[in-house]
Each structure stands twice: as structure tokens, then as C-alpha cells.
Amino acid sequence: MADTPSSPVESSECETGRTAVERALSLIALFHEEQPAFTDFLLGVQEVAASAVPEPYAGLLAHHSHMTVTMERFHGGPVNLRVVAERGGPADPAEHLYAREILLANGDGKIVQYGIVRIDLSPLPSESRDAILRKGEPLGRILIASGVHRDVQAVELVQLTPGPAFASLLEAAGPTYGRVAEIQLNGRPAVELLEVVPSFAG
């Protein structure tokens, strides 16, 4: 897969049978399922067409490239990974399933992206699996280096209203935008993603 900008996406392209909102909520629930913690984290989410999303959010989200590449290009340098929480991985070797909640920060330490990823590690070579579990580099950078064929697809955009806990993680208040996406590795669905850009107004 080439990590070059592609044509903007619109809503309702997902072929999984789930809406963008359902996909986003299923990933958020991995780490914020219990009430009242869930409502403290997220006050609202709705699907939105790419054509209705303002810049710079549309340019950052409405594409079929890795977000790591997009964020580093936009911010003019490498982004650094912070893992907030994780599930699976070495504790579930039979299924090779791993999920984590993350933040990406720029060189000044400013949070530039929030994300949740759920990945089947089995299509990846062992060195790539180990690199992911070491939690030292963003996922996109590792997948690009792996040599595995990658296809970012089923991209849909959402508008989110963070609750207090989410706003604290983002270090920004107010509604913002994100995307759900899937990545096929060597032709098989392997990665589910929720990727959120903090509000530029916050």
C-alpha cells in the first residue's frame, strides 16, 4: 500500500454491516464500558460526511493512508506513542488479539491524536508483533516497516463530544472529529481503528 493521499471519503462506505457510530462505540467500550464511566468519557457521537467536516480535520481524517504518516506530515516531525491502556497480547497467544488505547504527541509533548486499535497480530512477522508489544513506536510506522501488504479501508468520519475524562486525555475541550477505519493485512481483515484529532478550538 502506498502511503500517499487518496481521494476524500464520504460516509456509508463500510461493508461490515455496522454504522460508523456502532463501530466507534464498540471500540470505546473495550476500555470505557461501565457506567457512569462511559458517560464521563463520551457525551455524544454521530456520523458525518467528509464533505461536511471543516479543515484541518477533513484533510487529517478523510483519506486511506496511515494516520501516523498524516500526522507527522501535518505537524512537521515524528509523533511519539503513549499507551493509556491495553488488553490481550501475550496473555492471549492463541487468538493473537491485542487492543490498546493510545495518545500520539508531537515533539513538544502536545497531544495530537487519540486512538483505539484492536488488532489480530497473527498476519505479522514476529519482529513486528514484538515491536507493537514493546509500545515504543506508533502502529502505522511498524506496519509500514513490516513489509506486509496493507490496505486501509472502510473509512468513515464521526463527530464526537468528549466528556470530562476524554477531554482531559485530549488536553482540549469541545466537540471534535475522528474516523473509524479497518486495515487488511495480506488481504485479510486484521485491524480496527478509532482515531480522533483533538479540537483545535480547545
Asked whether residue 68 is assigned to any structural domain, the reply reads yes
Give the separation between CA 159 and CA 178, rounded to whole angstroms.
6
Within a domain: 114: yes
CA torsion 54-118-30-13 (nearest 10°) is 40
In a domain, 119, yes or no: yes
Q: Report strand pairing: 188-197 vs 111-120.
A: antiparallel
Q: What is the pLDDT of residue 150?
A: 92
Mean pLDDT of 149-166: 94
Domain count for the chain = 1
Q: Which residue range(s) make up the domain with 69?
A: 20-197
* pLDDT > 90? residue 24: yes
Q: How many residues does the chain have?
A: 202
For residue 70, the model assigns a pLDDT of: 93
Does 7 fall in a domain?
no
Contact between 140 and 124 (Cβ < 8 Å): no
Q: Is residue 14 part of a domain?
A: no
The answer to whether residue 131 is domain-embedded is yes
3-state secondary structure 44-87: EEEEECHHHCCCCHHHHHCCCCCHHHHHHHHHCCCCEEEEEEEE
Q: What is the mean pLDDT of residues 99-118?
A: 96
**Residue 36 pLDDT level (bands cut at 50, 70, 90):** low
pLDDT tier at 95 (50, 70, 90 boundaries)?
A: low
Distances 194 to 115, 147, 191 between C-alpha atoms, Å: 5, 23, 10
**Residue 77 belongs to a domain with what CATH number?**
3.40.1410.10
Q: Write down the pLDDT at residue 201.
A: 64
Q: Please give the pLDDT value at position 184.
A: 94
Residues 114-140: pLDDT tens digits?
Answer: 999 999 999 999 999 999 999 999 999
pLDDT averaged over the chain? 87
| Residue 130 forms part of a structural domain | yes
pLDDT digits over 4-22, tens only?
A: 333 333 434 445 689 999 9
Q: Cis bond leading into 36, ω under 30°?
A: yes
Q: Does residue 5 sit within a domain?
A: no
